[in-house]
């Protein structure tokens, strides 16, 4: 049984979300805003911090001039350490913390997880030649240097929860969660600040998710072009395809300008290894983006009144239905076929009101031979891994480590194709 504190906070969380939903209902008479909002003024936000004071640097980018769509990049300090000679990032051992408490996690579905100590072939020092790390500790970018000195990390696109109407990529809780994921998964996290309802109803948030994925692919192309230009002739600064050490600090891998090629991603991201991560309604966005990615290459049925209220605010009024393709991934005839979906890890809480439908979705994936285990966490409630007061709970910490194991299983072993 959950502790008294967990029960109380679960009730408080549902009350708070219901209050926010009702507030939005009262403002639906206002005209919709095509530009949209990605956070609410009443929510606490964490400012971006481009230093590695806690091991992760962050920056915010507004990526769409026509809407409020934005992202927050989380770059772990481990990205600043060059790979050891002859090391292969795709064959790194899977991490596992000895602090994990098996009592707080129950893996009832799918293959058992490997239990082993965390290990890594890369260190955490930031004293790397060629880095543009100023005296104030702020990370400005990356100097070209030798190509082999740049460590490329997988990318994880993260979609926050909040019942479509609240939350944000820069909220205090989401910022803390993404920092944790960046560290334990050893990835560059790109948190998506999608447009919120009811200012922007379906399919705005879904379209924003796809737009960010396409933007990431464009960044990969720009980075490749940047490397080609850096490796070519460059007005006396380039000798034999490599920059002189005395001049390298003057240049940033951004040949197209800061408005086009994002230097952190250009230097440290490997978009060919990409994972989608969603919390609560963010998982619906992740599912939609994955489906669109699958289609480009050739849901969870709510069970509570509060969920219904959230869907009413998100879906167009004339299309409201709990069997809308956006709300229920198991609607018959919804494409593409489930057998084409990528490997999918489903995380559920023992006391999550969406637990049964989440498990049902995973079961349908496994029926068509998609690797889709379910991890269920005891004494946990909906969004337990991303709620501010539960971020330090054993379940939340173990969840992040389990996500790391799952992500590294594929981003370490898959080829250069675009994984999801």
- The residue that leads in pLDDT, 41 or 140, is 41
Taking the C-alpha atoms of residue 174 and residue 44, their distance in angstroms, rounded to an integer, is 10
In the predicted structure, residue 145 carries a pLDDT above the cut 70: no
Of residues 349 and 28, the one with the higher pLDDT is 349
The answer, yes or no, to whether residue 252 has pLDDT greater than 80, is: no
Question: 255 with 221: CB under 8 angstroms?
Answer: no
In this prediction, residue 118 carries a pLDDT of: 26
Q: Which residue has the higher pLDDT, 206 or 21?
A: 206
pLDDT at 310: 86
Q: What is the pLDDT of residues 356-407, one digit of tens each?
A: 889 999 999 999 999 999 999 999 988 999 988 899 999 999 999 999 999 9
More confident residue, 154 or 272: 154
CA-CA distances (angstroms) from residue 226 to 20, 132, 244, 264, 335?
45, 17, 17, 13, 37
Label residue 191 by pLDDT band (50, 70, 90): very high
Cα torsion 387, 388, 392, 398 to 10°: value is 30
Question: For all residues of the chain together, what is the average pLDDT?
Answer: 76
- Per-residue b or e along 296-318, where b marks 16 or more CB atoms closer than 10 Å to that residue's CB: eeebbbbeeebbebbbbbbbeee
The pTM of this model reads 0.69
- pLDDT: which is higher, 229 or 300: 229
Report the helix count and the strand count for the chain, using DSSP H and E.
9, 11
Q: Does residue 245 surpass a pLDDT of 50?
A: no
Could you tell me which residues come within 8 angstroms of residue 25 by beta carbon, excluding any fewer than 6 positions away? 309, 313
Strands (E) in 212-302, as ranges, are: 238-239, 242-243, 269-278
**pLDDT at residue 227, rounded to an integer:** 57
pLDDT of residue 104: 44
Find the range with the poorest average confidence among 1-10, 108-117, 324-333: 108-117
pLDDT over 90 at 162, yes or no: yes
Beta bridge partners of 346: 374
Q: Which range scores top for mean pLDDT: 61-75, 222-236, 254-268, 301-315?
A: 61-75
Given CA atoms 161, 163, 167, 168 in this order, what sign does their dihedral have?
positive
CATH of segment(s) 4-81+148-227+259-411: 3.40.50.1820
Rounded Cα distance between 186 and 356, Å, is 31
Where are the chain's structural domains? 4-81+148-227+259-411
Q: What 3-state DSSP class applies to 193?
A: strand
| pLDDT at residue 296 in the model | 78
**What CA–CA distances, in Å, run from 413 to 88, 89, 208?**
10, 9, 29
Nearest Cα to 155, choosing from 293, 53, 277?
277
250 pLDDT more than 90: no
Identify which of 300, 288, 283 has the alpha carbon closest to the alpha carbon of residue 341. 288
Phi, psi angles (nearest 5°) of residue 32: -70, 150
The pLDDT, as a whole number, for residue 84 is 64
Instruction: Write down the pLDDT at residue 29.
Output: 54
Q: For 126-147, what is the mean pLDDT?
A: 54
Top-confidence residue, 293 or 256: 293
User: Are residues 171 and 46 in contact, defined by beta-carbon separation less than 8 angstroms?
Assistant: yes
Contact of 411 with 273, CB cutoff 8 Å = yes
Catalytic residues: 280, 352, 382
d(CA 275, CA 99): 25
Tokens of 156: 């994880």
């Amino acid at each position: 049984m959950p502790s008294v504190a967990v029960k109380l906070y679960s009730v408080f969380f549902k009350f708070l979300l219901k209050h926010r939903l009702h507030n939005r209902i009262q403002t639906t008479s206002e005209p919709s805003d095509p530009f949209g909002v990605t956070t609410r003024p009443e929510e606490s936000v964490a400012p971006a911090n481009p230093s590695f004071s806690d091991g992760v640097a962050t920056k915010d980018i507004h990526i769409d001039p026509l809407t409020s769509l934005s992202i927050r990049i989380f770059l772990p300090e481990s990205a600043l350490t060059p790979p050891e000679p002859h090391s292969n990032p795709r064959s790194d051992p899977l991490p596992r913390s000895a602090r994990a408490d098996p009592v707080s996690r129950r893996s009832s579905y799918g293959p058992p997880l490997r239990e082993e100590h965390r290990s890594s072939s890369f260190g955490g020092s930031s004293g790397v030649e060629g880095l543009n790390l100023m005296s104030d500790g702020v990370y400005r970018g990356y100097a070209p240097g030798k190509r082999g000195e740049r460590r490329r990390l997988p990318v994880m696109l993260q979609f926050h929860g909040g019942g479509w109407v609240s939350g944000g990529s820069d909220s205090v809780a989401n910022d803390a969660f993404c920092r944790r994921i960046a560290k334990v998964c050893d990835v560059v996290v790109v948190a998506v600040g999608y447009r919120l309802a009811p200012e922007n109803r379906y399919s705005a948030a879904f379209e924003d998710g796809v737009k960010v994925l396409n933007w990431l692919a464009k960044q990969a192309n720009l980075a490749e072009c940047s490397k080609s230009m850096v490796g070519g002739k460059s007005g006396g600064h380039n000798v034999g395809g490599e920059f002189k050490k005395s001049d390298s600090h003057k240049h940033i891998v951004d040949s197209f300008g800061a408005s086009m090629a994002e230097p952190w991603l250009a230097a440290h991201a490997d978009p060919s290894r990409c994972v989608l991560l969603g919390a609560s309604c963010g998982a619906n966005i992740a599912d939609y983006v994955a489906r669109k990615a699958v289609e480009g290459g050739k849901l969870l049925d709510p069970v509570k009144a509060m969920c219904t209220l959230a869907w009413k605010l998100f879906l167009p009024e004339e299309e409201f239905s709990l069997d809308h393709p956006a709300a229920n991934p198991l609607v018959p005839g919804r494409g593409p076929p489930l057998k084409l979906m990528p490997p999918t890890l489903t995380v559920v809480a023992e006391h999550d009101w969406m637990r049964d439908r989440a498990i049902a979705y995973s079961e349908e994936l496994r029926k068509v031979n998609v690797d889709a285990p379910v991890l269920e966490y005891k004494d946990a409630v909906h969004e337990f891994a991303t709620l501010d007061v539960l971020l330090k709970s054993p379940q939340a910490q173990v969840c992040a480590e389990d996500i790391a194991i799952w992500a590294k299983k594929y981003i370490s072993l898959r080829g250069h194709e675009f994984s999801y």
